[in-house]
A = this chain, B = another copy of it.
Amino acid sequence: MLPNKKIIDELKKLAIKAKNNNEVPISAIIAKKNKIFFSAYNTCHKTNNPLNHAEMIVINHALKETKQKFLNEFDIYSSLEPCALCASAISFCRIKRIFFCAYDKKFGSIINGAKIFKIKNAMYKPKIFGGIEEKFFSQILKDFFKNKR
């Protein structure tokens, strides 16, 4: 299963846009049948809201737009391994597949940390594809934090 190249390219553009707007360069896209439904980058800084992760923004948008309780026809793409908040939201919404790029040892909760989908009695488990274009998406984050110091 290959991730959709157009969507990954869009994730890149969004991460760069985030950086240029002084936001941590993390982006997410929710897609249906390989077509972008909604895209966003994290706005925690601008909105002063620590829950406005890119994934949460696209999920909340899709829930609102579709009025569906379950987003089981949707895939989510994220530039960074989702944290426990976003991974849980993905699970509660029954999103079909997760494609993520850079790994995150600090907050990541799929391969790292809470490993949300490996928990016994856990909720719905999507298919997971990680490490897509790792180099680009980890480098943009490293550069961002380096310039912040």
Contact = CB atoms under 8 A, between A and B. Distances in A.
**Most chain B beta-carbon neighbours within 10 Å: one of A59, A114, A115, A122:** A114
A49 interface: yes
A128 interface: no
A113 B106 contact: no
A139 interface: no
A58 to B, nearest CB: 13
Contacts of A85: 84-85, 88-89, 92
A143 to B, nearest CB: 22
Interface string A74-85: 000000000111
A105 interface: yes
Given A49-B63, A49-B69, 13 more contacts: A48-B68, A50-B63, A50-B69, A50-B70, A50-B92, A51-B89, A83-B88, A84-B88, A84-B114, A84-B116, A113-B121, A114-B114, A114-B119
7 contacts: A50-B63, A51-B93, A84-B114, A85-B85, A113-B119, A113-B120, A114-B116
Interface of A: 44, 48-51, 59-60, 63, 67-70, 83-85, 87-89, 92-93, 105-107, 109, 112-116, 119-123
